[in-house]
Amino acid sequence: MRIGVIHGPNLHLLGKREPGVYGTLSLSEINERLKTRARTLGVTVETRQSNSEGEIVSWIGEGESWYDGLIINPAAYTHTSIAIRDALLAVSLPTIEVHLSNIHKREAFRQVSYVAPVVLGTISGLGPYGYELAMLALVHHVQKASP
């Protein structure tokens, strides 16, 4: 089983900036933890980051060839990108959305989500550990679905 992880805009700055909000772990440390967790679960994981909406759309479009499931943190594009929503709809990959912070505690425009209605489920506010829970949920989902 192969899992793709897509990190959206500004997430490459994690750990160095606003640690009060986003924690002190860098993106590569988060990816490292995910890979460690993946090994214990016997799955492979590939992580990517992009600031470009179009690039994320392209990655999702090609996703079925490479992955059995997707974890996505669309960051700011959560609230503005219908293109990412359409891409997720176009492919039939089971996907889980992750947010590091509890977006319900933030500005009103972060309450609107184009992505949440088209994914399997959402995990928000639980920090980097949320990615690991998403991986558990994805493995659980795929195993339950396959005979």
**Known catalytic residues?**
22, 99
Q: Give me the least distance between CB of 129 and a second copy, in Å please.
A: 5
**Calpha distance 16→122 (Å, rounded):** 26
**For 39, what's the count of Cα atoms within 13 Å in the CB-facing half-sphere?**
5
Closest CA to 9 of 45, 47, 56: 56
Q: Give me the least distance between CB of 128 and a second copy, in Å please.
A: 10
CB-based contacts of 3, cutoff 8 Å, min separation 6? 38, 43, 44, 45, 46, 67, 68, 69, 70, 71, 135, 138
Q: Give me the least distance between CB of 110 and a second copy, in Å please.
A: 8
**Calpha distance 92→109 (Å, rounded):** 28
Identify the residue among 54, 67, 68, 71 touching a second copy (CB under 8 A): 54
Which of these segments, 31-39, 40-48, 65-73, 105-113, binds a second copy (CB under 8 A)?
A: 105-113
Which of these segments, 25-33, 40-48, 65-73, 134-142, binds a second copy (CB under 8 A)?
A: 134-142
Residues that bind a second copy (CB under 8 A): 8-10, 12-13, 17-18, 50-55, 57-58, 61, 75-77, 79-83, 85-87, 89-91, 96, 102, 104-105, 109-111, 113-114, 116-117, 119-126, 129-130, 133, 136-137, 140-141
